[in-house]
Structure 1
Amino acid sequence: NVHIIFLLQNPPTQQHIPTTTTNLVSLLSLSVTMSSSVTPILKDELDIVIPTIRNLDFLEQWRPFFQPYHLIIIQDGDPSKVIKVPQGFDYELYNRNDINRILGPKASCISFKDSACRCFGFAISKKKYIFTIDDDCFVAKDPSGKEIDALQQHIKNLLTPSTPFFFNTLYDPYREGADFVRGYPFSLREGVPTAVSHGLWLNVPDYDAPTQLVKPLERNTRYVDAVMTIPKGTLFPMCGMNLAFNRGLIGPALYFGLMGDGQPIGRYDDMWAGWCAKVISDHLGLGVKTGLPYLWHSKASNPFVNLKKEYKGIYWQEELIPFFQSVSLPKECTTPQKCYIELSKKVKAKLGLVDDYFNKLADAMVTWIEVWDELNFSEENTVALPNGSEK
């Protein structure tokens, strides 16, 4: 049994797993999942981050999948309100007063009255992996009627390599029943470490306000059984309601920006983080996957309220996308922190000309990295040691 757990938690990342081995690992995974005596995969290495303004009754449906894991709940809005969490969950809860107390003046980089506040949970966590979900998202079912364990699919995505440098027409070659197709370069079949796993949704689609207004009753019923790596150099609109990432590889780049109270824009928090994370992942040779898992998005937000939040962003993104498409980072940027600081300078120099908001955002990006480093201080990682010195 110990040997089986080792296989699951440490899949090869430097060489392609042969199809027969992939099938074996999948069968072992199934048998381990069915055994209640075995510790869930990454139980002590993953935090679930949930931003909320309401009681978390939705966790009852997720109990079979989430209860073994630690939750970090970020309470937005009125800090005096009591948020009720169902019994039996292991969690920490932080409200705005807690954030102000922990960060002091640097709390200004954490958004208020916006789900972007979730990134405080990313910074305060001490785990290697993060899964974040919105409180209006429930367990979906696949076409056979089986409930989808979204968290375990994210874990599979993160623990297997990505293929950003050459597109595989069978999508994820590391899935059971798939492989690299004829013509795929053998030199690229090792893949690269996966930094981000971006999941999708059934029912209410993640549309912008103008599309919501045009298609108020549209629902997504299409279940596509696929996971794919987003190619290097290609941006995508990241949605934060069903997202997992390797905090150790890309965490500092997952800053959700300045949104909500006191800011001229909202609902671009996850997209901003996605653009930054993708550019930095490309630079560092990391992968970003999208596709499975699905969850059930239950509630359509008000399109008129959304339009007020998005109005400037709809215009600004026509400047933002070309910026991120053309931005390049120097080879000296070898960590996500260094990349993010360099990116903040470019944001101020280029996007600061679009609106003064981006000057504020660039400053907040720097503050965010300071917060990250303070909360995640490691002498081994932050102090350069002379060659031969003992750690």
Structure 2
Amino acid sequence: MASPTPLLKDELDIVIPTIRNLDFLEMWRPFFQPYHLIIVQDGDPSKTIKVPDGFDYELYNRNDINRILGPKANCISFKDSACRCFGYMVSKKKYIYTIDDDCFVATDPTGKQINALEQHIKNLLCPSTPFFFNTLYEPYREGADFVRGYPFSLREGVPTAVSHGLWLNIPDYDAPTQLVKPLERNTRYVDAILTIPKGTLFPMCGMNLAFDRELIGPAMYFGLMGDGQPIGRYDDMWAGWCIKVICDHLGLGVKTGLPYIYHSKASNPFVNLRKEYKGIFWQEDIIPFFQNIVLSKEATTVQKCYIELAKEVKAKLSKIDPYFDKLADAMVTWIESWDELNPAKPAAANGKA
């Protein structure tokens, strides 16, 4: 009997940033092999990255980024996993799943291997409920529904733009927490998915993340981090704050919870502290900035929203540090590059494409 076609087989790319051979893919083979991989090699472009046989992939290194983007390549971070967002830009698929190369297949409490990609796809294909919180969390799951008092006018939900997955074993902690709790491991599997309410920000982690590229892709810019920048390890969080403000403005949903992956390797807390040091102070101003931002009625597309955000960053955050001037310029460059590589589709004539 033929095995069923994997969900969204021809509509999803898996983006992986890496500096090493991708042996971790062997464990993911049953789940990832049917899909196309976009590998973004960070660091030394002369180093050869080995990919296990049997995977359909394209690999980009820094030389490729410079060749494809030309002078605009300076918006893509170097020596930082933020380089992954180049993969989002060059993809031609509707959906993206991104994962780090130190993440393995987790098991649920029954011992069954978790197909993280399949769960992310189910999350993305299912509506979100950002405007009214359902106390049973995800109302569309089997065995759940909307509770008494939930407005019927809101039960259709809105399109889901982002599915944010979690991690067993090594938690996604900042450096101070890593230093205080070096042996702490997350063993708690919570069988829940919920929509993050409108007006609520969250710390987005990029190591187990999926999104609808057509709905929110241009806002998934992981900022300027790493080599030559005064900050690192805030790339995914910066993108998370931006996408949440834009999703709230455009009426899109963000889910968090299942699926879990197994995060195998804790990064060095002392190295992390050096990267995060300024961000730990800056975030106390950055968060209120995002909490208070109001996008205009004219911001009707992700690109227009993002350009407005960039202008606000330049106007209001550059007083913290000149870095934010540079970041705001890079945000504009990112959108210009995105639009060059992803030209708008011509409008349908007479209602037909």
TM-score range, shorter chain: over 0.9
What does residue 235 of structure 1 align with? 201
Aligned counterparts of 1:140 and 1:38: Cα–Cα separation in 2: 23
What does residue 174 of structure 1 align with? 140
Q: Secondary structure at the match of 1:161?
A: coil
Aligned counterparts of 1:389 and 1:293: Cα–Cα separation in 2: 38
Shift of 1:377: 1.0
Shift of 1:38: 2.6
Aligned counterparts of 2:300 and 2:118: Cα–Cα separation in 1: 30
What does residue 154 of structure 1 align with? 120
Deviation string for 1:297-333 (max 9, x for gaps)? 0000000000000000000000000000000100111
Shift of 1:132: 0.1
Q: Secondary structure at the match of 1:352?
A: coil
What does residue 363 of structure 1 align with? 329
Shift of 1:39: 1.6
What does residue 317 of structure 1 align with? 283
1:292 aligns with 2:258: yes
Aligned counterparts of 1:147 and 1:295: Cα–Cα separation in 2: 10
Aligned counterparts of 1:251 and 1:171: Cα–Cα separation in 2: 26
What does residue 110 of structure 1 align with? 76
Aligned counterparts of 1:138 and 1:121: Cα–Cα separation in 2: 21
1:198 aligns with 2:164: yes
1:255 aligns with 2:221: yes
Deviation string for 1:246-295 (max 9, x for gaps)? 00000000000000000000000000000000000000000000000000
Shift of 1:109: 0.2
1:339 aligns with 2:305: yes
Alignment CA distance shift 1:166-1:389 (3 Å):
closer
Aligned counterparts of 2:143 and 2:155: Cα–Cα separation in 1: 16
What does residue 339 of structure 2 align with? 373
Q: Secondary structure at the match of 1:295?
A: strand
What does residue 27 of structure 1 align with? none
1:124 aligns with 2:90: yes
Give the number of the structure whose residues are more often helix, by fraction.
1
What does residue 39 of structure 2 align with? 73
1:353 aligns with 2:316: no
Shift of 1:201: 0.1
Q: Secondary structure at the match of 2:166?
A: strand
Deviation string for 1:331-385 (max 9, x for gaps)? 111110000001000000000111110000000000000010011113516xxx9
Aligned counterparts of 2:3 and 2:62: Cα–Cα separation in 1: 39
Q: Secondary structure at the match of 2:279?
A: helix
What does residue 62 of structure 1 align with? 28
Structure 1 length as normaliser, TM-score?
A: 0.89
Residue correspondence of structure 1 range 32-71 to structure 2 within 5 A:
36-71=2-37
Match among 280, 285, 294 for residue 328 of structure 1: 294
Aligned counterparts of 1:388 and 1:72: Cα–Cα separation in 2: 36
What does residue 28 of structure 1 align with? none
Aligned counterparts of 1:84 and 1:36: Cα–Cα separation in 2: 31
Q: Percent identity?
A: 83
Aligned counterparts of 1:256 and 1:339: Cα–Cα separation in 2: 16
Shift of 1:36: 3.8
Aligned counterparts of 2:253 and 2:246: Cα–Cα separation in 1: 10
Aligned counterparts of 2:350 and 2:145: Cα–Cα separation in 1: 43
User: What is the RMSD computed on CA atoms of the aligned residues?
Assistant: 1.3
1:306 aligns with 2:264: no
What does residue 212 of structure 1 align with? 178
Q: Secondary structure at the match of 2:318?
A: helix
5+ unaligned residues in a row in structure 1: which ranges? 1-34
Aligned counterparts of 2:343 and 2:101: Cα–Cα separation in 1: 31
Letter matched to residue 234 of structure 1: T
Q: Secondary structure at the match of 2:284?
A: helix
Shift of 1:73: 0.1
Shift of 1:389: 10
Deviation string for 1:27-69 (max 9, x for gaps)? xxxxxxxx64432110000000000000000000000000000
What does residue 145 of structure 1 align with? 111
1:187 aligns with 2:153: yes
For these two proteins, the number of residue pairs brought into alignment is 353
Aligned counterparts of 2:124 and 2:57: Cα–Cα separation in 1: 23
Moved >6 Å (runs of 4+): 387-391
Deviation string for 1:76-116 (max 9, x for gaps)? 00000000000000000000000000000000000000000
What does residue 24 of structure 1 align with? none
Letter matched to residue 104 of structure 2: F
Letter matched to residue 249 of structure 2: H
What does residue 52 of structure 2 align with? 86
What does residue 10 of structure 1 align with? none
Q: Secondary structure at the match of 2:191?
A: coil
